[in-house]
Chain A
């Protein structure tokens, strides 16, 4: 078998995250394969479950049901210690090798997620776009995992002293 060189390729590919507007969050990355291969890794449950949950996070993917076609549903169940958590929703629009659009229905004001796969000379530019129904919904999603107020207060102190001049 050939020597595995995927690690050096991975190091060159940068993942960018940008808050595009008050309601939108965009993640991009380029993959070294044409869209049909990247789409397969995203739409086949046995492949999808191999990469969606980062290893070492103490979280495991218990079940993974994906019916990736327009109108199909998905349900992911995660386990962390004793707790389990389910994420589910519906595929609003699926165009094979081009895009997948789905809802996130576990919360009240869930985002609509659109993933697009664009051919860039045999590579794939992947764009993961989340559109929240309101600014508040996006900020709530952020607050849910934010480290909290103390750092915010430190930052305020810094800002106050730096404007002293």
Chain B
């Protein structure tokens, strides 16, 4: 990879906040940024799965309440 190519790559990563860089003299040091895209995507997917499991169970509870109400009004 050329130095110019490398610089271009790093600036893309920096814009995406995946890395932060610091230049001291002729040396630019890169660090992983606070924002890891993969980690965020994983977390969102884990969160979605948690809520999906909750809401599937909530669907059943709602079904039961509707059932009870129907039974209740049928007996009146």
Contacts and interface: CB of A to CB of B under 8 A. Distances in A.
Interface residues of B, number: 41
Interface residues of A, number: 49
Contact of A146 (B5, B13, B39, B53): B39
A151 B42 contact: yes
Interface string B45-76: 11110111111111111110111010000000
Interface in A143-164: 143, 145-149, 151-156, 159-160, 163-164
B22 interface: no
A33 B9 contact: no
B67 A17 contact: no
Contacts of B65: 33, 37, 40-41, 47
Contacts of A41: 58, 61-62, 65
Interface of A: 2, 4, 6, 9-10, 13, 15-19, 25, 27, 29, 31-33, 37-38, 40-41, 47, 50-55, 57, 126, 128, 139, 142-143, 145-149, 151-156, 159-160, 163-164
7 contacts: A10-B59, A27-B47, A50-B57, A54-B53, A54-B54, A164-B1, A164-B5
